[in-house]
Amino acid sequence: MSSPGPGPDRPRREVLAAASTRLREAGVASPEHDADALLAHALGTTRGRLVLVDRVGGPALAAYDALVARRASREPLQHLTGTAAFRHVELAVGPGVFVPRPETELLAGWAVDAARAVLAQGREPVVVDLCTGSGAIARALADEVPDARVHAVELDEGAHAWAERNLSGTGVELRRGDMATAFEDLRGTVDVISCNPPYVPLEAWESVAPEARDHDPHLALFSGDDGLDAMRVLAVRAAQLLRPGGVVGAEHADVQGQSAPAVFVAAGRWADVRDHTDLAGRARFTTARLAR
């Protein structure tokens, strides 16, 4: 992977093997997957169709070399391809917005189920996604529960621009603002609230992966000394926005499986507070129901 420009064609397997080795040595968590994804991007094809490519050369190989070098420096894969898959939709992402993680799909799935449960009661669900970031959860809700009225809010100017792009034409009402004060006009009428707030403790700076620490907006990452400042705001604001019996779900760090639910218990307004694990068995998000 050292050729700086067009050169002789090289076998696809050889090109991918060299790239995977380089990414692995750089500490990338999924070197083979990322090598495949970047080559597909450089060739303008899909990972599934790479098997049809025998050799790589010329401008495509030079472009691939450059992409692999950037990924080896721990630039996020999604920034290099410009897209991130999330449940059944594809999002545009890049510098200035938090890249949606696969584990957040579980929270989105919970919100989809909660909205469908309201629909089954014969009512149009009113759903709010706080700290929407790229608009991932709101976009998934609009895609999977088209009869819901979905609202979303984002404070950061750069992230809001990405959300605007991803939610255009979906029917989602997007606002720019602070989750602590947003949607005063919906007070007491919301059925479902989803939120992927910042939850990294300030002291955990060094433990954050370079892809997130160096490229995601810090507003989307860090939340006070214990990482729960935003969760405390959410517990208050959700209680104001939800109708009695409405539900809230919020993602948290895997080490916050007890402390995050405790925020809602301490608020005194919530019933059915419980935590949920991801597919690896790690604590991942908390849900609660506003007491009637």
Strands 10-11 and 55-56: antiparallel
Q: Which of 40, 36, 4, 10 is nearest to 23 (CA)?
A: 36
Q: What element of type H or E holds 65?
A: helix 58-72
Q: Is 154 annotated as contributing to ligand binding?
A: yes
Residue type, 91: L
Strand order from edge to edge, sheet including 173-176: 173-176, 149-154, 126-130, 190-195, 242-251, 283-290, 270-277
Count the neighbouring beta carbons within 10 Å of the beta carbon of residue 146. 10
The tokens describing 234, both together, are: 């959410």
Report the SS3 class of residue 5. Answer: coil
The tokens describing 4, both together, are: 């700086």
Count the neighbouring beta carbons within 10 Å of the beta carbon of residue 18. 16
Cβ neighbours for 111, distance < 8 A, ≥ 6 positions apart: 127, 129, 137, 140, 141, 192, 194, 249
Q: Is 166 annotated as contributing to ligand binding?
A: no
Q: Is 198 annotated as contributing to ligand binding?
A: yes
Q: Which of 249, 239, 236 is nearest to 290 (CA)?
A: 239
Cα 79 from Cα 263, distance rounded (Å): 34
Binding site feature residues: 154, 196-199
Binding site feature residues for substrate: 196-199
Binding site feature residues for S-adenosyl-L-methionine: 154, 196
